[in-house]
Structure 1
Amino acid sequence: MPAMHATGQDKAKDAVETIENTNLETHAARPQHVDKAAALLATEERIYVSPEDNKRVLRKIDLALLPLLLTIYFLQSLDKTSLSYASVFGLLDDANLVGDQYSWLGSIVYVAQLVFQPIISFLLVKLPIGKFISVMVLTWAIVLCGMVGATNFGGLLATRFLLGAAEAAVAPAFIAVVQMWYRRHEQTNRNASWYAMLGVVNILGSLLSYGLGHIDSRRLHSYQIIFLFCGLLTFVVSIFCFIFMPDSPMEARFLTHDEKVIAVERLRMNQMGVASRVWKWEHVKECILDPKTWLWFSMLTAVSIPSGGITTFGPLIVKSFGFDSFTTILFNMPFGAVQIISTLGGAWAATKLKKKSPVLIILCIPPIVGILMLMFLEHTQANQAPLLVGYYLISVYPGISPLIYSWSGQNTGGDTKRKVNTGILFVGASAGNIIGPHLFTPAEAPRYARGLRVNLALFIVIMLVVVAAAAWIRILNRKHANMRLVAGKNAIVVDYSMETGRTIGNKAGVMNGDSGGGIGDKAFDDMTDLVNEDFIYLY
């Protein structure tokens, strides 16, 4: 392995700050604004990352990032679902909510997220991502504490809107963090890990609400105690986030200079870059005109409509089976367990198969069966057990969204294009979550027939769009193979970004891979996937 020239932290810092003046003669043919990772690598010989080095650095990255990502997303999920727990403990009566006002409290968070997504996409490119996440976490903590003073529909609606605005950056930022730190083979499981916190919230959050709901306070209602506790806990976590969340591999204090080089070099065959902090309008245009963008947008919108409805009305649906408030909260816990299993299990299967499309289709089947059970079983005490089974089958759907995010992210190159693509997906997710709660209204209890019929149709639509997306990706891969031939490269190359360390070590002895003919040379030029002929699409 060629020697790496370790000269300390100052060298890495200087390299990042002088990116556009570094090694101009060597990189004269490159784009004017390349990825900031190129500045760090420009000071080094091109190295080969051994499986041992990869494993060591990956372990340090996981230990530094995953605890923060999991904790923050757990709190965001807890904050969002606190409304559904509050509904069981008298929020509707105490706040005098009538008609579809409760549905609007569920939707308004996503209205804010939809409105703010374009701004978030821009800020994720331009700002240091670790500090940006920290400020957003602190903001939503303050807003959630302020919800304690909201005792009517107007106050709750305003604070829920502000909460959605503050939380709008979290999931898009997490996807960006995973893309800038992990190889494509590793990304699906990491995205699934933080997304699985939705299921953890449905277990621990149910227990937490059960306990907080028993607090007898003369000054605060039970739901106000829930809001206050969640807000204060989030405030504490925001401080840890500001101290420990790194902005990029090039600026990570927990890595030595040599480890930073390894952390960046091992991402070469992703063909996605790391971070440029330069906004490129040509990337925006390509993203908008790219059919892939709208295929994933359609999938995510379709799955978010059931998500919005079930998240807001799930406890009320269980309560309609004939249970009291506290029993309802406890029976919501298995719902969370199924979410965890489907999310992590789906990610594991997709990683093992190196394909997303077949796993997505399989994950749509249990919700379809569960919806049919709720639609056609009579809501009687004798049917409580099968009705619960149907409800738990529906809860497989959370495994779908992280696979779509990973599938989309792994098939998008260029820093600005990735951030805009993620923003568009979250516009779809926000729109779906706005629509979802309005398909269910308390007046339709206990059957909620309209919402269940629409959800059934949407899961079928998802399966059809997945098939279309997989077919289109195959076409793109054939097109890129022809582009490589024209460029004098091998048409068929090994996608080392999807190989495990042990497999690569046995086959080639390297982690970053080099299929010959210059494959990987453009990885940090901040080129989009459609322009970079070396980019290999995953279906």
Structure 2
Amino acid sequence: MFPISQMSTIDETKSGSVTEVQVPEEAIKDVAYELFQEGGANDEVDPKDSSRIARKLDVHMMWVLCTLYGINYVDKAALAWAVLFTFEEDLGLTGSDYSWVSSIFYFGYLGAQLPASYLLQRFPVGKVICFSSFAWGIIMLAHMGCKNYAGILVCRFLLGVFEAPVSGGFVLFTSLFYTRKEQVSRTMYWGSMQGIFYVIFGFITYGLGHAHSSSLKEWQLIYLVLGLCSVIIACVWFALIPDSPDKARFLSKEEKIIAVKRVSKNMMGVKTNDWKYSQVWDCLVDPKTWLMVAFIIFSMIPNGGLTNFGSLVLKSIVHNRVQSIAIGVGSSFFSSGQMLIYSVLSMKYHNLRTIGMSAPLLLAIAGLSAVYATEDHGAKWGRVFAYWMINSYAVTWPFALSIIGSNYAGHTKRATMSMLLLIFFAVGNIIGPFCFTSEDAPKYTKALATNLGCFCACFLIAVLLRLYLIWENRRRDAKYGPVAELTEDERQQGIINGMKDLTDTENKEFRFVL
């Protein structure tokens, strides 16, 4: 038997029953547990030291995370730019071929989610992100050699396979280095790069559209530039980014201890490499899992359509293919600007996650309603501004990801939730392009009406999720006592439970952030 001081005793409430969970100290496999012990389990981290380490992490890592995530997004958006040139004619695409070229990416993305989730759990998250980034860069370059429908289908499918670990990997990676409060702003930082890099490469694409090359078409130049950028940033990641706080070469031994103790207060530990099937089941029976899944599938149906057909919808307003690229970047300004504003607010205010999942949708609903209602008689620039407003829905994605990083304890449970979220991310994006039928072109009014209904459903689900988390926190307070009244020993036990890789269901000291 183990000494009582080395045992963890937790009430686990499932279906009204209480189960005793005991984990011996010797069973802890967290990669940073030795540093945690070396720093003194009960020693508090000075807030000034914590802030100093956070700033140091930002300086050394955040620019690389932001750059890679931004490149990852515009790599997917490249198809929407390519179709504005001679892409369809050169590859002989007709009828629904373009819809299939758009959707096949997400079939690869969907099929690769289970192995991607397993790899992220079993191996260093940073290395998985790095090697997948390098591979998708090579696939982007391979797009240039496509000559027919079959060739582009293969490239798009493989692109989806190699991009599968990225979003889930970024969520897990951010949770390794930052506290739950910091995770929102940092997720918004790299999440906002979707819009910022769309703006940057939108203007680059506009310039390439005026290039006259004797050997490469305009759409091939787009894939050349993006492919080279992807390969370069993957190499930079490999050289500079550590796999976990204890591996950060830019931190001293004392700073590594502080970095580990900072994230231990999330009650999620740092990282273990075991795959636990019990945590898979824990995730599947968790009500918040299915609220999140419903939110994602309803938000990604519009995303799948607008990402690949948005430039064509905008072209129906401005009546010029190349100009629609330049004007389309306004929607990215609209979304990325909001993300940066929310990131600043999240540093001052708590519990903005579910608000960030719902409030931006009100602007998206208003913009989409205006575009839909003014189909035949709206002023052109008024409709363009309304179109920009639609992209406010993109603000909700980083907030949804931050819910996983902040509210899912247990490394396998968090990896499973990331997998489920991204599976339904892929499903929604597969469905989305088929809402835009050729019969409905060029105004796509039926597709816009479908998207409007999806946004309304997302708003309702986000509100329900917030109410559920409030209810669950109050239920735990009533059963175990309010968090504010926990003794220091009880609070410390919650931290140790996180190092023991217990889930949010098993750790009675764990409370959800909203």
TM-score (structure 1 length as normaliser): 0.88
Are residues 25 and 467 of structure 1, via their aligned partners in 2, closer, same or farther at CA, if it must alter by over 3 Å?
closer
Answering whether residue 209 of structure 2 is matched by residue 213 of structure 1, we say yes
Counterpart residue number, 2:131: 135
Distance 1:429 1:495 in 2: 40
**Contact 1:347–1:403 (Cα < 8 Å) also in 2:** no
Amino acid at match of 2:381: A
Answering whether residue 443 of structure 2 is matched by residue 447 of structure 1, we say yes
Counterpart residue number, 2:307: 311
**Contact 2:85–2:218 (Cα < 8 Å) also in 1:** yes
Counterpart residue number, 1:27: 6
* Displacement of 1:495: 11
Answering whether residue 393 of structure 2 is matched by residue 397 of structure 1, we say yes
Are residues 162 and 85 of structure 1, via their aligned partners in 2, closer, same or farther at CA, if it must alter by over 3 Å?
same
Amino acid at match of 1:310: L
Are residues 260 and 26 of structure 1, via their aligned partners in 2, closer, same or farther at CA, if it must alter by over 3 Å?
farther
1:406-440 CA distance string (max 9 Å, x none): 12321110111111111111111111111111111
Distance 1:175 1:520 in 2: 20
Counterpart residue number, 1:507: none
Amino acid at match of 1:355: L
**Contact 2:138–2:227 (Cα < 8 Å) also in 1:** yes
1:366 to 348, 363, 366: 363
Answering whether residue 351 of structure 2 is matched by residue 354 of structure 1, we say yes
After the TM superposition, which residues 36-435 of structure 1 pair with which residues of structure 2 at under 5 Å, given as runs?
A: 36-46=31-41, 47-349=43-345, 352-379=349-376, 383-435=379-431
Amino acid at match of 1:209: T
Counterpart residue number, 2:499: 524
Counterpart residue number, 1:14: none
**Contact 2:269–2:495 (Cα < 8 Å) also in 1:** no
Amino acid at match of 2:499: F
Are residues 217 and 24 of structure 1, via their aligned partners in 2, closer, same or farther at CA, if it must alter by over 3 Å?
farther
Counterpart residue number, 1:17: none
Q: CA RMSD in A?
A: 2.2
* Displacement of 1:538: 1.7
Are residues 523 and 371 of structure 1, via their aligned partners in 2, closer, same or farther at CA, if it must alter by over 3 Å?
same
Amino acid at match of 1:493: V
Are residues 495 and 276 of structure 1, via their aligned partners in 2, closer, same or farther at CA, if it must alter by over 3 Å?
farther
Counterpart residue number, 2:482: 492
1:388-423 CA distance string (max 9 Å, x none): 021011011110111111123211101111111111
Identity rate, percent: 31
**Contact 1:74–1:201 (Cα < 8 Å) also in 2:** yes
Distance 1:391 1:515 in 2: 51
**Contact 1:339–1:396 (Cα < 8 Å) also in 2:** yes
**Contact 1:279–1:416 (Cα < 8 Å) also in 2:** yes
After the TM superposition, which residues 450-461 of structure 1 pair with which residues of structure 2 at under 5 Å, given as runs?
A: 450-461=446-457
1:462 to 458, 464, 472: 458
Task: Say which SS state the counterpart of residue 212 (structure 2) adopts.
Answer: coil
Distance 1:276 1:331 in 2: 46
* Displacement of 1:482: 4.1
Are residues 534 and 144 of structure 1, via their aligned partners in 2, closer, same or farther at CA, if it must alter by over 3 Å?
same
Task: Say which SS state the counterpart of residue 520 (structure 1) adopts.
Answer: helix
Answering whether residue 510 of structure 2 is matched by residue 535 of structure 1, we say yes
Are residues 75 and 495 of structure 1, via their aligned partners in 2, closer, same or farther at CA, if it must alter by over 3 Å?
farther
Counterpart residue number, 2:18: none
Distance 1:327 1:440 in 2: 22
Distance 1:156 1:263 in 2: 45
Distance 1:356 1:194 in 2: 16
1:92-140 CA distance string (max 9 Å, x none): 2222211111112221111111111111111111111222111111101
Are residues 241 and 24 of structure 1, via their aligned partners in 2, closer, same or farther at CA, if it must alter by over 3 Å?
farther
Amino acid at match of 1:44: G
Runs (5+) with no aligned partner, structure 1: 1-22, 485-490, 497-512
Are residues 102 and 129 of structure 1, via their aligned partners in 2, closer, same or farther at CA, if it must alter by over 3 Å?
same
Bigger shift: residues 337-346 or 276-285 = 337-346
Distance 2:143 2:74 in 1: 14
Task: Say which SS state the counterpart of residue 305 (structure 2) adopts.
Answer: helix
**Contact 1:342–1:398 (Cα < 8 Å) also in 2:** no
Amino acid at match of 1:39: E
Counterpart residue number, 2:20: none
Distance 2:356 2:283 in 1: 25
Amino acid at match of 1:242: F
Distance 1:387 1:525 in 2: 54
Distance 1:74 1:517 in 2: 38
**Contact 1:309–1:439 (Cα < 8 Å) also in 2:** yes
* Displacement of 1:467: 2.2
Task: Say which SS state the counterpart of residue 121 (structure 1) adopts.
Answer: helix
**Contact 2:303–2:429 (Cα < 8 Å) also in 1:** yes
**Contact 2:268–2:495 (Cα < 8 Å) also in 1:** no
Amino acid at match of 2:498: A
**Contact 2:105–2:156 (Cα < 8 Å) also in 1:** yes
